[in-house]
Structure formats: structure tokens, C-alpha cells
Amino acid sequence: MVTIIVLAALVIAFFIFASLYTDYAWYAQLGFQQVLTTRWIAGALMFLAGFLGMAIPVFVSIALAFRFRPVYAKLNSQLDRYQQVIEPLRRAVMIGIPVVLGIFAGLSTAGRWSMVLEYFNRTPFGKKDPQFGLDIGFYVFELPFWRSIVAYSSAVVLIAGLAALAACYLYGALRFGGREVRISKAARVQLAVTAALYVALQAVSLWLDQYAALTKSNSLITGAQYTEVNAVIPGREIMAGIAAIVAILFIVTAVIGRWRISIVGTGLLLVAAIVIGGIYPWVVQRLQVKPSERTFESAYIERNIKATRDAYGVSDVKEQNYDATTEASSGALAQDAQTTANIRLIDPKIVSDTFSQLQQYRQYYQFPDELDVDRYDVKGETEDTVIAVRDIDLEGLSAAANTQYNRAFVYTHGYGVTAAYGNQRASDGKPVFLESGIPSNGALGDFQQRVYFGETSPPYSIVGAPEGTKDVELDYPSGSDDDNGGNATTTYAGDGGPSLGNFFDRLVYAAKFQSEQILLSDAVNEDSQILYDRDPITRVQKVAPYLTVDSDAYPAVVDHRLQWVVDGYTTSDAYPYSQSQSLSDSIAGAESSAYRTDQVNYIRNSVKATVDAYTGKVTLYAWDTEDPVLKTWQKIFPTSTKSVSSMSAELLDHVRYPTDLFKVQRSILGTYHVTNANSFYSGDDAWNTPQEPTSTATSDSDADSADTSANANTNALGAQTTTTSQVNLQDPYYLTMKVPGQGTAYSLYTTYIPQQSAGANNRNVLTGYLAVNSDAGGAGKGEKGSGYGKLTLLTMPKTDNIPGPGQVQSLFNGDSTVSQELNILKRGNSTVKQGNLLTLPVGGGFLYVQPVYVQSTSSGSYPLLQKVLVAFGDKIAFEDTLDEALNSLFGGDSGAAAGDSGASGSDGGSSDSGSDSDTGSSDSGSDSGSTGASTGSGTVDNDALQQALSDAKDALQDRQEAYADNDLVAAAEADQRLQDAIEAATAAENGS
């Protein structure tokens, strides 16, 4: 039995060691071992402090009670029996109880290492709170530390006192006889001193609580209001003084032996807590404040407004009135030609299937469900681009290929990116690709295309081999006829993971991943590396545990490398008077709950991070150098971040304002754009983000009708909460546009409508338009763009009725002509998907643009952009192209050309990638012509494809006419011709 226990302990110890060893190897390989060792050392010291802080006082308390027990005390028979049972185990109990309690206390305190490090490395904010005049840093760094110390000490003293009380009773120092209580002198001194310590700690706690009132969430605002300032805070000061006096009375009891005075003092403290801490504040609130609440709370609302705008980084928002017109006059867009030319028609939430069908090539690749939006310089012009990484998908392997060997050694990485112009479309509705094929080729130039670190990379892959060894990793389908079945192969040549070069390393990783193949496979060699924790967000979160990481990592081709860009936030829930809200709820658009564990009232986008898709290298850039929280963590981890000055100009060109931060700020500004306390209190000008208008407009409602969002959020150091909520708010969108009063810039925007209760007669009119400059580049290496991060809020006159997104969507769906056209498109074997409804402040008013996609219900089909809806005021247009729709809307001439102006007359679109994109190129010299064909560029490069596209266009037109004539037989025949043409086009594109 002993042998079994020893062996089990050794196995457990080995697995613990393997976990620690592999963690260190992972961090060391990235160069962030200081982060891990600092956490380990700080956690170990905190555990030791917590253990000793609990175990020693409890042991001393029990030991003193035993040491000074009455030797000849007369005990009753029951206590005699207890002593007979316990006495043989006394030494074990005296040591065991403190040790067990110490372990639990140590585990509890070990998790607070970050708070302690923040306290000892704290950085002043340089701003003072309006109530006590203390630096904000006191509330963020110091107050949580001291309150934790007091709470922990109170728990230790209380447990030690209870242990002493039990020991005194057990050994006769404390005896009960009828109404008489007898206590020995030694027990009296020990228990009275313990009580004095406990009450003294409560006095300190009450004193600190007055400061905590400034971050307490109330029904009206976060922070101390009139009652707190004039009743609660003074009451806590008084009660702290009373508690200090009571603590002194317990010391007097220890000296003179009279319990009456300390008991009376304790009773008075309880009465004071009820009267001063409860009844008096209630009377003030109920009888004085409530009848004239707006008057009494005005000054404190002003404090809340100022602090909230500062804490969320919106105090410098530029507000301007925008008297928008609703008249669509001819030539109205002439002054907004650049914005008009960049209007994005390709919806990144819809075209994932299109990218997959045209650019995926093999079942073991995949594109994300929602693509990313970026901008690239193409022939000297900045183009808004929809881009996606072709990542690996092991679930797409066939049953025969889905072996452990293939998953670990063969299918190790994705390959390349696909990018399309955001503002263009081919005549058949396909995107116009500026980067396509496999290997990809086009306007993005040469770059390392292998994606070993992606959002869907396998849990682990084993790569690397000595030079001259046969390649085993599948690189990409090349189409060549060779021993590899038409696939190019490769061997990883980077430094992306810990080494498996010796038996011990293989053993510990076999234990970590519970895979004997790591230990036994002959594919593992002295040059092998193991790649794991490959998701970009995971990697950033691990090397920067003090950050809350943005939910979306986006790819960018930078300096001939494919990099993932990740935004990191420093947050706090202790900024005085700033409005507290759930971070996950703010991002998801759900109503914030006070019971969430991820409450914040301060946020900064303090770090921009990159993750190399080939090497996995993580680089952290200190973006907000004025953030005191980041400065504090830079003291703790001095080598972990780099300066913005080391960012290349090309990287800065792809840095953007993060969506999650913008969602939090728009949530705050919905209420806190109001800076007048009286108006804020009345709520007469509060706004909401409108609901996603297409959620009720889309007919094929599965994923598009509403979004069920599961949000996993990690706080400043590892505590994770997950909330799932049905959310429906319209997303903010990236567009290159000119905001009134600003220059043309890559921007992120959102709209506002009046805040109103559900079920009311809701008014979906536009009240505000918030945009932020997202251009971080353009100033050169290491220099942020001068306009980056500037928020502009357009406010509509309260007397205007500018249609909001919901009204415009209803206008589209209710128009008889549009409705008839949409119904025609929906009939038969097709569905209609209405894309993102964009809102642009152009032409002196607001232009709404919505692409309309059509998708066949047959297997292998994908959405094609067929129509465009536009609206200005209460006037709408519905045409094949945006350019035609704008001209129709604005009296025959909009005054500006859209990006798809040539689509209706083209033969399939064009691409700036040139003819080379039709054949692709391979760094291994393989012929990739069959896989990098014209599906990437959208160009018509053979007669069969051109004929198929022409047949599809004719069939679609014939089908629409047949449905309009109610000729179902002709419609069915045209529908069949359409399906045949699509299949023929697909076959022609694939070179078959």
C-alpha cells in the first residue's frame, strides 16, 4: 500500500513538474521568461505570506491557551471525555489545524500577487478626486491593497480567537455554570487582547470604507452622492472612532478584568452602526433628497460625468451640430467624391462562403466566418480591403486521413491570404480579388505565406528536421504530378516552439499532451520543435497577463511578413466617480449587469501587439505611454514592451482603432455625451445604438437574423468570465470617408437613436453619429498619425427627423418596387441576403447603402452581389450597381463615381494582380497553375468561363422575367439553366 501511494505521488509530482517545465520552455522560447518567473516568485511569496500569516497566529493562539490552562481546573464529565479523545492527538492537532488553515489562506493570497506588485510599483495619475483630494492612483493601487490587508488580518484574528476560545473551554479556562461564566486570568487577557485587535481592524476597515464610497455603484450614478457625502461618509468616520474606543476598552478589560465596560462599548458600537450607518442615511435620502433629488444630486452628477468621460477616454470628443438635409439634389456628392469611391460593398459577414468556394481549394483549409477589413496601398491609392487568412482545418480531413500522425506531423499550417477590393464587384457579383491563388499572388507583394500560428491552428504540431531530410509537412496543393499526390511539401525552418531534441523533452511533452506519439514516433528528431498555444490572442494574453485582449485579431501583410495585430487594454474598476459597467456586456451590446465579475470603469488601449504567423514571435508595443496602469506594469516587467518608435511605417499603416474599445466608448457616450447635470438626470437626450436592421429583414434567418454571443473575457490577470446573451446591436463599421469638419481618413463609425423603453412607440430617428479616426500611419517609422484616435460626434437638431437605420430598412422592405424585385430574387432555389447597412454623412445629409446578395440553395453555392439599395432622406433607389443607384437617387447624376462604376458593363471584373495571379508562383518551384487559376482575380481568362458567365446572366434575367409573368414553367427551366451555368463556371475556374 505504501509503495502504491509513493508511486502515485511520484506520478502526480512528475505531471506537475512537466506542466511547470513546459510552461517555462514556452515562455523562454518567446523571450518572455521574466513574465513567468515574476509570476511564480510573486505567487510563491504571496502563498508563503498567506500561509505564515494564518498558520503562526493560529498556532500561537492555541499554544498560549494550552500553555496557560488551569492545571487543577475541575471539569465536568463531558469535557473529561473530550480531553481523553483529543489528548493523544494534541500535538498533531495543534500543528495540523494551523497548517491546513495556512494552506487555504496561502492559496487564497497567492492569486493576489498582481495587486501587491501594482501597489509596490504604483504610478500616480496626476489627477485628484473631487471629494478627498487624493490622487486617483490611491484608489486604483493603494486602497484595494490596504482593504485586502485589513480583510485578511480580520479573518486571521477571528479564526485565531475562535481557536483560543475552543482551547480555553476544552481545558477549563472558560467555564459555564448556570448564569455564571468563569474565566481564568490568562484566558481573559488572551481573549480580550484578541477582541481588541479585531475591533481595531474593524475601525480601520470603516475608515477605508469612506474612500470606497467613491467607486460604489448606485441606482443613479457610480460614486458618492449627496447622502453618502453628508451622512454615510461622516457616519463611517464616527463609527471608526467609536470602534477604536471600544478596542481600547477591551485592552482595559485585559488589564483590570472587568468585561462590563467592553461589552457595553460593543453594544454602543452596534447601536451606532444601526442608527448612524442605517437609519440616519435612510432619513436623509428619503425625507431630504428624494423630494428634490435633481437639486441635491446635481453637483455629484457633474462629478460623475467628468470622471466617466476622463476614465473612458472620451473627454476630448469633438461635438458639432450637423443640420442634415433630406433632399437628394443632383450633383450632391460632388464634394464627397473620395468617400463615394470608397464605399464598401463587400460585406465581411456574408462573403466568407464566397471566399471559401473560390479560394479555399482543399477541404483541409478554411476561412473565418467573419472576414476582416483593412486597407492597402495599391498602385499609389489606398484601398479598403476585405481580407482573410487561409487557415488549416483538421476537421475537414477525411476519416482515412484523420490520423494522429497526419494531425501532428503533416497538416501543420495554413497557407496565404485572400483579399478583395471592398468597393468593387465583378459583373456576376463575385468579389474582385487583389490577392488570390495558392500560393497567393497580387498587389500585396512577396511575403512569407505559411500560417503556423493562426486562429484555428491545431492544438500542437511537431515540425523541423535536419537538412537533407525528406519533407513531410504538406505545404499547399500544387497540382503537380509527383510522389506527393499533387501537393508541395516543406519543412519548418523557423524558431517557433520549444525543442524536442532530447528524450527528456519528449517525455515531458508526451505527459503534457498525453500523447505517446511524441515520445515514440520516428518523425521526432533532434531538430524537432513543438508548436502549441498558437492562437494570436492566446499568445498575447499569456505574455501580457495584465492586459484584457481584444476579441478580434486581424491579419496584415507587413514588411514581407504576415502578422496578426492584437489590441490590448489596461482596465480598472476603481476610478472614483466613473460609471461602472460590465466589459463583456458593453462589447456584446447587452444591458449591463452589476453582478458581472468583469466590471470596469477605466480603460485604455495601452498596447498594440503583433504575432508573426510563421514564427509565432510576439511583440508588445507601448501604445499609450501616458497610461499610469501601463507604466506600473512596465516597472514590473521592464523588458516586455517596446516603444512605438520601433514600429515600422508599414505596420503603423495597418494599425487601427480597436472595435471593442469603440463599442465601450459608444455605450458610454450614449448617455455621457450630455454634460449638463439637469439634462443628464432627466434623461431627455439619452441615446442608444440601433438594433441591427438586417436581423429582421433577412429571410434565410439562421445566423443572420440575430447573433448569439458567447463572450469570454479575461480580466487584468487571468480571471475569466463567460457571458452568453442574445445581442442585436448594429456593429460599428470601418470606412474610408470624410466626416464633416474633418479630412478624409480611415474611420470607424456608429449611429445613435433615442433611448427608449422596450414596447414603447419607438422612434428610430437618427440623433447622433460617432466616428473616430483610425489612421495610425502616414507619418513615417515610429510616428503615429496626427489624427489617430480623434473622436467626432455629430449631433442632429432635436427638431429634425432624419431616418435611422431601422426606418431606412423598413423603407427598403416596404417599397413596392424593391419588394417585388426582392421577392423575385427569393423565389425558386435562391435566397436573398441583405448586407450591412452603411450610413455615410455625405451630400449634406446621410446616405444609406446596402448591398444585396443572392445565393442558390444548391450544394456548393455561395452569395453573389447582385443589387445595391441606397437611400437619402425618404427617397430610395435599387439598381444593379452602386454607381447606377446613386445616379438614380440624385436626379440622374450624383456628382461622384462609385467604386463599382464599371461592373455592369464588365465581363467579370478585373484585378490589379495581373496575369501572374492566374498561375501563381511557388517558392519550391512547383507548377501551381491549376490551383492558382482565375478564381483569385475574377478575370475571364478562357472561353468556357466567359460563356458560362454569359449563360448565367441570361438565365438569371430570364428567370426574373418569368416570375414577373407568373410563368412557373419558364421560371423552372431558367433556374435549371442558371444552375448548369454556375456549375460550368466553377468547373472552368478550377481548370477542369
pLDDT above 50: residue 797 = yes
Distances (CA, A) of 885 to 410, 826, 894, 901: 50, 21, 9, 10
Share of the chain above pLDDT 70, in %: 87
The x, y and z cell numbers of residue 265, run together, are 462599548
Mean pLDDT value across residues 369-378: 94
Beta bridge partners of 414: 451
Q: Which helix (H) or strand (E) holds 18?
A: helix 2-30
Q: What pLDDT is attached to residue 922?
A: 36
Place of cell 443572392: 854
Model-level pTM? 0.86
Most confident of 5-9, 603-607, 948-952, 988-992: 603-607
H helices present in 613-701, as ranges: 628-636, 649-654, 659-672, 677-682, 694-697
Q: What pLDDT is attached to residue 923?
A: 38
Q: What pLDDT is attached to residue 708?
A: 41
Sequence letter at residue 17: F
Distance of CA 815 to the CA centre of its chain: 39
Give the dihedral sign, CA 388/389/390/393.
negative
The x, y and z cell numbers of residue 493, run together, are 525552418
Distances (CA, A) of 348 to 352, 381, 536, 835: 7, 21, 20, 9
Average pLDDT score, the chain = 87
Write out pLDDT tens, residues 452-463.
999 999 999 999
Whether residue 439 has a cis bond before it, omega within 30° of 0: yes
Residue (of 643, 502, 640, 718) closest to 33 by Cα position = 640
Asked whether the beta carbons of 160 and 194 are under 8 A apart, the reply is yes
Write out pLDDT tens, residues 746-787.
999 999 999 876 555 567 899 999 999 999 998 889 999 999
Residue 736 CA to residue 663 CA, distance in Å, equals 19
The x, y and z cell numbers of residue 691, run together, are 438594433
Residue 153 CA to residue 257 CA, distance in Å, equals 26
Residue 391 CA to residue 753 CA, distance in Å, equals 39
pLDDT above 80: residue 989 = no
**CB environment 339-371: b (16+ within 10 A), e (fewer):** bbbbbbbbbbbbbbbbbbbbbbbbebbbbbeeb
Write out pLDDT tens, residues 461-495.
999 999 989 999 999 987 664 566 678 999 999 99
Q: Which helix (H) or strand (E) holds 964?
A: helix 943-964
Mean pLDDT value across residues 717-721: 38
Residue 827 CA to residue 815 CA, distance in Å, equals 18
Q: What pLDDT is attached to residue 720?
A: 35
Residue (of 555, 306, 590, 296) closest to 451 by Cα position = 555
Label the pairing between strands 602-612 and 581-582.
unpaired
Residue (of 816, 814, 829, 825) closest to 851 by Cα position = 825
Q: Is 67 exposed, middle or buried (0-12, 13-18, 19+ CB in 10 A)?
A: exposed
Q: How many CA atoms lie within 13 A of 102 on its CB side?
A: 17
Q: What pLDDT is attached to residue 697?
A: 44
pLDDT above 90: residue 918 = no
- Long-range contacts of residues 73-77, Cβ cutoff 8 Å, at least 24 apart: 73/171, 73/172, 73/173, 73/175, 73/184, 74/172, 75/172
Label the pairing between strands 847-856 and 838-840.
antiparallel
Residue 937 CA to residue 432 CA, distance in Å, equals 6
pLDDT above 50: residue 106 = yes
Mean pLDDT value across residues 578-597: 80
Residue 658 CA to residue 676 CA, distance in Å, equals 29
The x, y and z cell numbers of residue 35, run together, are 513574465
pLDDT category, 314, cuts 50, 70, 90?
A: very high
pLDDT category, 829, cuts 50, 70, 90?
A: confident
Mean pLDDT value across residues 340-365: 93
pLDDT category, 696, cuts 50, 70, 90?
A: low
Q: Is 661 exposed, middle or buried (0-12, 13-18, 19+ CB in 10 A)?
A: buried
Distance of CA 699 to the CA centre of its chain: 30
Beta bridge partners of 710: 724
Residue 258 CA to residue 274 CA, distance in Å, equals 26
Residue 475 CA to residue 923 CA, distance in Å, equals 11
Asked whether the beta carbons of 127 and 146 are under 8 A apart, the reply is no
Q: What pLDDT is attached to residue 670?
A: 94
Residue 385 CA to residue 913 CA, distance in Å, equals 14
More confident position, 43 or 78: 43
Q: What pLDDT is attached to residue 484?
A: 65
**CB environment 424-454: b (16+ within 10 A), e (fewer):** bbbbbbbbbbbbbbbbbbbbbeebbbbbbbb
Residue (of 669, 596, 602, 609) closest to 632 by Cα position = 602
Q: What pLDDT is attached to residue 80?
A: 61
The vertex-383 CA angle with 379 and 388, nearest 5°, equals 110
Q: In a 3-state reduction of DSSP, which class is residue 838? A: strand
Count the neighbouring beta carbons within 10 Å of the beta carbon of residue 6: 10
Q: Which helix (H) or strand (E) holds 709?
A: strand 707-714
Share of the chain above pLDDT 90, in %: 68
Q: In a 3-state reduction of DSSP, which class is residue 104? A: helix
Q: What pLDDT is attached to residue 699?
A: 38
More confident position, 176 or 929: 176
Distance of CA 154 to the CA centre of its chain: 37
Residue 181 CA to residue 192 CA, distance in Å, equals 15
Q: What pLDDT is attached to residue 938?
A: 37
Write out pLDDT tens, residues 850-869.
999 999 888 778 999 999 99
Beta bridge partners of 525: none
The x, y and z cell numbers of residue 932, run together, are 492558382
The vertex-719 CA angle with 716 and 721, nearest 5°, equals 110
Q: In a 3-state reduction of DSSP, which class is residue 723? A: strand
pLDDT category, 919, cuts 50, 70, 90?
A: very low
pLDDT category, 75, cuts 50, 70, 90?
A: low
Count the neighbouring beta carbons within 10 Å of the beta carbon of residue 129: 22
Q: In a 3-state reduction of DSSP, which class is residue 556? A: strand
Distance of CA 659 to the CA centre of its chain: 9
Distances (CA, A) of 739 to 636, 770, 844: 41, 10, 11
The x, y and z cell numbers of residue 212, run together, are 470606497
Sequence letter at residue 426: A
Give the single-character DSSP code of 290: G
Count the neighbouring beta carbons within 10 Å of the beta carbon of residue 946: 15
Residue 681 CA to residue 683 CA, distance in Å, equals 5
Residue 509 CA to residue 524 CA, distance in Å, equals 12
Distances (CA, A) of 261 to 116, 195, 218, 238, 273: 39, 13, 38, 19, 18
Residue 81 CA to residue 234 CA, distance in Å, equals 53
Asked whether the beta carbons of 423 and 343 are under 8 A apart, the reply is yes
Asked whether the beta carbons of 411 and 458 are under 8 A apart, the reply is yes
Distances (CA, A) of 942 to 318, 441, 920, 931, 989: 54, 19, 17, 15, 9
Q: Residues in the chain, how many? A: 992
pLDDT above 80: residue 522 = yes
Q: In a 3-state reduction of DSSP, which class is residue 616? A: coil
